[in-house]
């Protein structure tokens, strides 16, 4: 049996982590969590086997834009799928996320079917 894909949820809102973690674990994913961009980088340094990162863009300490840019500067994470997640879907947000290095973009409230399709798309590449 193939190992379960590992996702890293980087989000400062425990309610978002709880809800997404519950849904994604039911779908068979292993879930790691981080509460800010710095913690996200720390988790990936210790556990680089992560298959996809779900990156909230608005977090304290280090936001998702900074964290995504920092990951893209590290050769081992240049091709890591990063799905940017944002609550304030403002004009230009998608472009800003992609310019920071995100692979995909999804707005909150998250459509879990759409999210799973995005994750699956990157796991099968």
Count structural domains, the chain. 1
Output b/e per residue, 35-62; b: 16+ Cβ within 10 A: bbbbbbbebbeeeeebbbbbbbbebeeb
Q: How confident is the model at residue 33 (pLDDT cuts 50, 70, 90)?
A: very high
Asked if residues 115 and 26 have their Cβ atoms less than 8 Å apart, the reply is no
Alpha carbon 61 to chain centroid distance?
Answer: 17
Let me know if residue 115 belongs to a domain.
Answer: no
The predicted-structure confidence for 92-118, as pLDDT tens digits, reads as follows 888 999 999 999 999 888 899 999 999
Let me know if residue 119 belongs to a domain.
Answer: no
Let me know if residue 27 belongs to a domain.
Answer: yes
Let me know if residue 125 belongs to a domain.
Answer: no
pTM of the model: 0.94
Q: How confident is the model at residue 2 (pLDDT cuts 50, 70, 90)?
A: low
Asked if residues 51 and 123 have their Cβ atoms less than 8 Å apart, the reply is yes
CB-based burial label for 85 (10 Å; 0-12, 13-18, 19+)? buried
Domain that includes residue 100, residue range:
6-108
User: What is the C-alpha separation between 81 and 104, in angstroms, rounded?
Assistant: 8
């Amino acid at each position: 049996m193939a190992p379960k894909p590992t996702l890293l949820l980087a989000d400062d809102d425990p309610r978002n982590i709880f809800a997404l973690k519950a849904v994604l674990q039911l779908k068979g994913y292993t879930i790691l969590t981080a509460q800010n961009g710095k913690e996200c980088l720390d988790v990936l340094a210790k556990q680089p086997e992560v298959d996809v990162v779900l990156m909230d863009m608005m977090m304290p300490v280090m936001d998702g834009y900074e964290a995504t840019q920092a990951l893209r500067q590290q050769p081992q994470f240049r091709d890591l799928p990063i799905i940017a997640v944002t609550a304030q879907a403002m004009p230009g947000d998608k472009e800003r996320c992609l310019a920071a290095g995100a692979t995909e973009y999804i707005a909150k409230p998250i459509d879990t079917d759409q999210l799973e399709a995005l994750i699956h798309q990157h796991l099968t590449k």
